[in-house]
């Protein structure tokens, strides 16, 4: 499943995971900015701002949370969310798909499934094929597919060892939460 310790340097894998979590943050920032520019050009600034500001529960959480809640959430992201999602998506799904369909299709299909599972709320919140749905889906799909492809390629590069991938995913989630918390509380 990817938990082998034979011939694996835990610290090296962890450092690789830390480096790739930073690469992931930068990658998602760049593709998000690119998608926002494209969608603002196509649909207009007002639509993008209205759609992305629709997450009122997120606003309430980040504006009312204290530092302890933030730290606990970040710990959960590192220890539970990143770990369990990587066991499921890379350790089981990608590994099995690669064996059946090859590297390219295994990584791609896993990334698509990962992305759609993370976008399920968009399907529940917005009427399908409405302008709101199209914009929300577009602005979210590209960053999720980008980070998932990065994680899939990292897992393949590390010869199906989950350590670096779990560290990358968990730390990426934790850093994202920290950055959003800082930006929300600075008024951005």
Q: Quick check: is 47 in a domain? A: no
C-alpha to C-alpha distance for 151 and 133, rounded to whole angstroms: 26
| pLDDT value of position 184 | 77
Residue 129 included in any domain: yes
Indicate if the pLDDT at residue 80 is higher than 60.
yes
At 6 the three-state DSSP class reads coil
Q: Is the pTM of this model over 0.85?
A: yes
123-144 pLDDT, tens digit per residue, is 998 998 888 898 889 889 999 9
- Residue range(s) defining the domain that contains residue 129: 10-42+55-185
Specify if 3 maps to a domain: no
**85 φ/ψ sector (left φ>0, alpha ψ -120 to 50, else beta):** alpha
What is the structure's pLDDT at 19?
97
Distance of CA 151 to the CA centre of its chain: 9
- The answer to whether residue 2 is domain-embedded is no
39, two tokens:
């969608």
Reported as a pLDDT band with limits 50, 70 and 90, residue 42 is: confident
Residue 120 inside a domain? The answer is yes
Task: Specify the number of domains making up the chain.
Answer: 1
Whole-number pLDDT of residue 58: 56
């Amino acid at each position: 499943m990817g938990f082998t310790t034979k011939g694996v340097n835990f610290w090296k894998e962890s450092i690789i995971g830390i480096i790739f979590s930073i690469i992931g943050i930068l990658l998602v920032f760049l593709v998000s900015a690119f998608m926002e520019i494209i969608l603002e050009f196509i649909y207009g600034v007002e639509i993008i701002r209205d759609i992305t500001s629709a997450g009122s529960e997120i606003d309430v959480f980040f504006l009312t949370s204290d530092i302890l809640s933030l730290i606990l959430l970040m710990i959960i992201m590192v220890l539970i969310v990143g770990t369990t999602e990587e066991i499921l998506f890379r350790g089981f799904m990608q590994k099995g798909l690669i064996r059946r369909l090859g590297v390219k299709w295994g990584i791609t299909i896993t990334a698509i499934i990962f992305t759609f599972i993370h976008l399920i709320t968009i399907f529940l919140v917005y009427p399908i094929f409405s302008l709101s749905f199209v914009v929300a889906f577009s602005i979210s799909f590209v960053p999720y597919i980008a980070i998932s492809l990065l994680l899939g390629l990292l897992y393949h590069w590390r010869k199906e060892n989950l350590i670096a991938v779990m560290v990358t995913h968990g730390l990426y989630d934790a850093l994202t939460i920290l950055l959003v918390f800082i930006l929300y509380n600075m008024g951005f």
